[in-house]
Structure 1
Amino acid sequence: MTVTSAASEPGDRRGAFLLLGAIILVWGINWPVMKVGLGSIPPFWFGGLRLLLGSISLFLVAAFRGRLTLPALADWPVVATVGLVQMAGFLALVNIALLHVPAGRSAVLCYTTPLWVAPGAALFLGETLSRRKLAGLALGLAGLLILFEPGSFDWSNRPLLLGNAFLLGAALLWALTILHIRGHRWHGSALDLAPWQQLTGALPLLAVAFLVEGGPDAIDWKWSTLLVLAYNGPIASGFAYWAAVAVTRRLPALTSSLAFLAVPVMGLTASAVALGEHPQPALLLGFLLILIGLVLVEYKPRKPAA
């Protein structure tokens, strides 16, 4: 989910850190949950229903708070970008990839987004690409190379190859959305726009699901299916999005952005426990290099006081 960079505002720091822990737990655990859910829900139906349930929960929250309004005309471009590119496009690629790629590996690849944001910000937003950021990019790319293990990778396995490519493509879509958000001049708050963004992403996914995967009878409706949707809609989409916005507004941007890197760690752990996935040494080493690279890219040294 997209969280806009915002200046820290006064608030309950202890509560913010509790929310941060909840986000890491909810999004990390969701990787094996999504893997299980895709056994009974086709990819496009899964993404569309998840966003639809998330948008309904956020609309209810907005109505309860008396803030249910249409976005300003100037905010519709960012609503469309987040809804169609990041949410719909991202979930479509991730869900298809999870059919062929282990959940833990998928979590690592999807959180390489900052590696693609840094050069994009330098190219389109005029941000400085320092030596530290270049070093971080180099380490991150080296980690990706190790993670792929090109010497032992089964290049003839087309579904596995496409799955890994889709995960990197999902990270790139997230990065492109972040670049738009950084350059956008906001009128409504991120939380006010969130239900409209999720609804904008849900509608095309549901339309494609009807055309490509058939009607709702394509879903294997059972109790586990309902539990997966209940977790992914109101909790992993609705609650986690709201919590991420709250954390970003209460804590310094650096603190929150680096803390979110704990999500793939939780994803690897949850996948090992729930699905019996045992990370290979190359995966752990590649993830470590990517993590160090992301820290170098995201880290901003404090300026000395005047």
Structure 2
Amino acid sequence: MNSLSPRVAVGLFLIVVLAWGINWSVTKQLVQFVPPLWSAAIRSWIALIGLAAILGLSNNLVIPDRRDIPVVLSVALLHMTLFSVLVASGLRFLPASKGVVLGYTTPLWVALAAPLLGKDTLTAPKLAGALLGLIGLVVILNPASIDWTNANVVLGAGMVILAAISWAANIIYIRAHRWIASPLQLLIWQVLVATIVLSVSATIADGLPHVEWSWRLVLLFLYSGLIGTVLAYWAMSMVNKSISALTTSLGTTATPLVGIAGAAILLGEPIDMSLVFAAALIVTGIALATLGDRLLRGQATARG
């Protein structure tokens, strides 16, 4: 796969941000009809079929090297399984607009946890960014924004935050992994493992699914599986070859903003000022942490 022109790469990147942002509203709707485990499993089956077609046609379907097996399992279990199920479960009780902001606190947990694990250095910009993000988290979890008397709402918020932490753990591991195959080539194997785990877990927990299918539900699943997963991951793999990592990292901070707007348009969710303020703090915090991380890596590269 060759690098793209800057204009095409930016266009694809905008598609990724839109796809991921809107997918939170889609997931919110899916879990109203299908239990979270089966919702994630069905979406994963659709993504698996789509990826098999894309990788087969582009001659990128390869058997993973045994040295790539740990990263396949890490992404499949921590991100595609645990993150997906926790988000889907949390969104049963939480508005999609609040869920997407809480879910995208992931870089803040990476900034805080990586230095504690000896995987990174906590610089001043990263510390400032993490603190801003944590203040934003406090704002969005304040009693005026989250009903602390409703146990389900609190549980939903906790699940989404735990999902963000599980994604952060996955990112920390990925940073240390020495890739043999490309991330896109390994994606289908990650989805395959996640699909098996999700399907078996859903069968054990909920039995066979009893779904009242409709065209709306089919379209929601197709969007989540093909647009929110296959197209977004494929596009991101192409974008990463053509745009700097700093640009993509900062650009993805727009995803929760798209998620908030999407929830307002598609679901009619209100946009209160505390949500906007919290989102601004968290996005700014992520940007600072990302800049600090890139500055540190740049200095390390300069020192050889």
TM-score range, shorter chain: over 0.9
* Aligned alpha-carbon RMSD (Å): 1.7
Classify 1:126/1:41 alpha carbon distance in 2 versus 1 (closer, same or farther; 3 Å): closer
Match of 2:227 in 1: 235
Residue 297 in structure 1 maps to residue 289 in structure 2: yes
- Structure 1's consecutive aligned runs of 4 or more residues displaced over 6 angstroms after TM superposition are none
In the TM superposition, what are the counterparts of 1:10-25 in structure 2 within 5 Å? Answer: 10-25=3-18
Q: Is the 8 A contact 2:256 2:279 kept in 1?
A: no
Residue 129 of structure 1 deviates from its aligned partner by: 0.7
Q: For residues 47-86 of structure 1, what are the structure 2 equivalents within 5 Å?
A: 47-86=40-79
| 2:25 alignment partner AA | P
Residues 56 and 195 in structure 1, CA contact (< 8 A), matched pair in contact too? no
Task: Give secondary structure in 1 for the equivalent of 2:33.
Answer: coil
Residue matched to 1:39 = 32
C-alpha separation in 2, matches of 1:233 and 1:160 = 27
- Counterpart of 2:90 in structure 1 is 97
Letter of the 2:227 partner, please give it: I
**Partner residue, 1:117:** 110
Report the residue type matching 1:112 in the other structure.
Answer: T
Structure 1 residue 152: Cα displacement:
6.7
Query: Kindly tell me: are residues 40 and 268 of structure 1, through their superposed partners in 2, closer, same or farther at Cα, counting changes over 3 Å?
Result: same
1:279 aligns with 2:271: yes
After TM superposition, the score normalised by the length of structure 2 is: 0.93
Give 5+ residue unaligned stretches, structure 2. Answer: none
The counterpart of 2:164, out of the listed 146, 171, 175, is 171
Secondary structure (helix, strand or coil) at the match of 1:261 reads helix
The 1-side partners of 2:249 and 2:20 are apart by 14
User: What is the CA–CA distance in structure 2 between the aligned matches of 1:293 and 1:236, rounded to whole Å?
Assistant: 25
Long gaps (5+) in structure 1: 1-8
What is the match of residue 188 of structure 2?
Answer: 195
Residues 176-235 of structure 1 show CA distances to partners (whole Å, capped at 9, x for unaligned) of 00011000111110000001101111111111211222213x222111111111111122
Three-state SS of the structure 1 residue aligned to 2:62 is coil
Report the Cα distance in structure 1 between the residues aligned to 2:128 and 2:32, rounded to whole angstroms.
40
Rounded Cα–Cα distance in structure 1 between residues aligned with 2:144 and 2:222: 41
Report the counterpart of residue 236 of structure 2 in structure 1.
Answer: 244
Counting matched residue pairs gives 295
Distance 2:149 2:3 in 1: 54
Q: TM-score, with normalisation over the residues of structure 1?
A: 0.92
Per-residue CA deviations over 1:45-71 (Å, capped at 9, x if unaligned) read 110111121122111111112222211
Whichever residue aligns with residue 233 of structure 1, its letter is G
- Which residue in the other structure is 1:142 paired with? 135
**Alignment check: 8 A CA contact 1:41 1:225 kept:** no
Residues 233-262 of structure 1 deviation map (CA, whole Å, 9 limit, x = unaligned): 122111111111111121000100110111
Q: CA deviation at 1:98?
A: 0.6
Percent identity among equivalent residues? 38
Give 2:136's aligned amino acid: G
Offset from partner CA, 1:34-91 (integer Å, 9 cap, x none): 1112221211111011112112211111111222221101101110010011110001
Residues 102 and 151 of structure 1: CA distance in aligned 2, closer, same or farther (over 3 Å): closer
Q: What secondary structure sits across from 2:241 in the alignment? A: helix
Letter in 2 for 1:289: L
Match of 2:201 among 202, 208, 215: 208
Q: Distance in 1 between matches of 2:28 and 2:4?
A: 36
